[in-house]
Amino acid sequence: MITPPYLKPGDKIGIVAPARKIELSEISFAIEVFESWGLKVELGKNIFKTDRQFAGTEKERADDFQYMIDNPEIKAILCARGGYGSIKMVKHIHFENLIKNPKWIVGYSDITVLHAIINEKLKMKTIHGIMPFNINTENKEDDSVISLKKVLFGNKITYNINGDILNKPGITSGILIGGNLSVLYSLAGTKYEYDYSDKILLIEDLDEYLYHIDRMMMNLKYSGKLQNLKGLIVGGMTEMHDNQVPFGKSAYEIISESVREYNFPVCFNFPVGHQKENRALTFGSKINLTVSLKEAKVLFTD
């Protein structure tokens, strides 16, 4: 896997909006935070455009992303927010230019599309982490923001978290991939989907019905993706919904049942996703995962 150069004070980063529309007031504080880290910030020229719920047309969003890829002064590209829309603009992007000029791509949720393409097709690492839209005065010193800074500047990270009753104990190692479960599900059968074999998969989700969590896990099972995993990390399953006739299981219980037959370790309640704690992770990196009922440990080894 290609590791893009880590940042140093004085470097310039770009902020683009590949999905939902954004306003300057929603990211202005994040810009101040990045500048306090010694970074220079350049915004995409189309970032505040509007096309229905999107941040401009798919071509305008893609043009901003392409500019940041092609500009050698830009050392990292941060996606302003998620929502929906990244999948609609990727067909316009020449990703191979990232090979000539590697740089970190940062985001989560809808940005899972970009993680999958860059990790799988380019064999390059990316950062699953908090986005400018989510950074505010209340969390600027929280682990979510501080962990992003550490990863961007090349500091090694290790996460030790509390255990969960649903954890499946074990020790494993492998390359970390994943992101938003709904987006991963939407990529199934397309040229953009991950190869799950021998990988450690991370999943998280927001605003889904419980039966649909079950449907997506069944897709992963019956397509053979689960049986070939080395491990599974389950982040936040936030603001889940149920029908009038209850499904009868929580999202975590649904996922636990889906992987019960497999031998790989499973960690639940990892602090990542659409919640207050969303710690930065480098997708495409090799990790050691140690899981028990009392705790879980993630150690990045490259």
Confidence (pLDDT) at 3 = 98
pLDDT of 139? 92
Q: What is the rounded CA–CA span in Å between residue 87 and residue 112?
A: 9
DSSP, res 245: S
Q: How high is the pLDDT of residue 44?
A: 98
- Side-chain-side CA neighbours of residue 69 (13 Å): 18
Structure tokens at 88: 């609609």
> How many CA atoms does the CB half-sphere of 229 hold within 13 Å?
29
| Residue-level pLDDT at 229 | 98
- State how far the Cα of 38 lies from the Cα of 40, in Å rounded to an integer: 7
**What pLDDT, on a 0 to 100 scale, did the predictor assign at position 137?**
92
Other Cβ atoms closer than 10 A to 174? 18
* Residue 173 pLDDT: 98
Q: Which DSSP symbol is given to 7?
A: P
Instruction: Write down the mean pLDDT value for the chain.
Output: 97
CB 102 within 8 A of CB 72: no
Q: List 234's β-bridge partners, or say none.
A: 203
Residue ranges in the chain modelled with pLDDT below 70: none
* 220 backbone dihedrals φ, ψ, rounded to 5°: -65, -35
Which residues have C-beta within 8 Å of that of residue 28, sequence separation ≥ 6? none
pTM for the full predicted model:
0.96
Model confidence over 59-75: pLDDT tens digits? 999 999 999 999 999 99
Sign, Cα dihedral of 219, 254, 199, 221? negative
Quote the CA–CA distance of 63 and 221 in Å, as a whole number. 37
pLDDT in tens, 3-58: 999 999 999 999 999 999 999 999 999 999 999 999 999 999 999 999 999 999 99
Q: Which long-range contacts (CB under 8 A, 24 or more apart) does 90-94 make?
A: 90/62, 90/114, 90/117, 90/192, 91/62, 92/58, 92/59, 92/62, 92/63, 92/66, 93/62, 93/65, 93/66, 93/69, 94/66, 94/69
At 276 the pLDDT is: 93
Per-residue pLDDT, 250: 98
Q: Which two tokens stand for residue 254?
A: 């649904």
State the angle between helix axes of 251-258 and 210-222 in degrees (0 to 180), rounded to the nearest 10. 20
- Domains in the chain with CATH codes: 12-152 (3.40.50.10740), 158-300 (3.50.30.60)
